[in-house]
Amino acid sequence: MSAIVRMMNSLHIELQNAAEWPRVPSLEQMQTWLAPALQPEQGECVVRIVDAEEGRSLNADYRGKDYATNILSFPNELPDFDLEPELLAELDQHYLGDLVICAEVLEREAQEQNKPLEHHWAHLLIHGLLHLQGYDHITDAEAEVMETLEITLLGKLGIPNPYQPLNQES
């Protein structure tokens, strides 16, 4: 397991490559993708890269689904300690939560969907960061808001709409 911690502009990312996956984007690249999606002035998150076994276990434990998924988001939910309201607000504001990415699933999806690997990384990281900031896609209305925001943010990065299939040549 390797862990790297680096402060980047207003987003502090702790990268944990627990799977020791060789094709993980750099912290600088993650910052480039995530910065436009960060809504508070600053924030902190953990990005943990896992293998299919850990991804499956986490998905089963937290979502009741017995398979590895591409990304899991664990928003910061501090227990209701008896803390000063100002301190609690400061803690809540900065630590957004954890993103767990199963690189094996992410790479398989990118290949199956005929998408550049970097585009899929960017999409899933942005998708996860939006979840950490309270966005969801449980209802159709929520999905439309979240997907529209994802498409807009990715477009600013020069990445096409991930929800439209790419034109495939015969």
Half-sphere exposure of 8 (CA within 13 A, CB side): 21
Sign of CA dihedral 79, 82, 84, 87: negative
Each domain of the chain, given as residue ranges in start order, spans 2-156
Q: What angle do CA 162, 17, 9 make, to 5 degrees?
A: 70
**Whole-angstrom distance, CA of residue 28 vs CA of residue 132:** 20
pLDDT of residue 81: 62
Least confident span in 5-19, 106-120, 121-135, 142-156: 5-19
Average pLDDT over residues 17-42: 91
Q: Tell me the per-residue pLDDT of 2-21, one tens digit each, with 9 for 90 and over.
A: 444 444 447 889 999 999 99
pTM of full prediction above 0.75: yes
* DSSP-derived 3-state class of residue 61: helix
The mean pLDDT of 20-41, rounded to a whole number, is: 91
Q: What is the pLDDT of residue 88?
A: 62
Task: Give the model's pLDDT for residue 39.
Answer: 84
Q: How far is CA 100 from CA 17, 45, 88, in A?
A: 10, 11, 25
Mean pLDDT is lowest, of 94-98, 103-107, 153-157, for: 94-98
- Summary mean pLDDT of the chain: 88
Query: Which carries the bigger pLDDT value, residue 98 or residue 170?
Result: 98
Which pLDDT score is estimated for 166?
61
Indicate if the pLDDT at residue 90 is higher than 50. yes
Comparing CA positions, the residue from 111, 126, 112, 128 lying closest to residue 159 is: 126
Looking at the chain, the whole-number percentage of residues with pLDDT higher than 70 is 82
6 compared with 71, residue with greater pLDDT: 71
Instruction: Please return the burial class of 164, using the count of CB atoms within 10 Å of its CB with bins 0-12, 13-18 and 19+.
Output: exposed
Q: In angstroms, rounded to a whole number, what is the distance separating the alpha carbons of residues 106 and 86? A: 39
> The domain 2-156 is classified under which CATH number: 3.10.290.20, 3.40.640.10, 3.40.50.300, 3.40.390.30?
3.40.390.30
Strands of the sheet containing 11-17, edge to edge, are 2-8, 11-17, 43-50, 95-102, 71-75
* DSSP 3-state of 70: coil
Instruction: Give the separation between CA 23 and CA 17, rounded to whole angstroms.
Output: 10
CA 63 to chain centre: 16
pLDDT for residue 91: 58
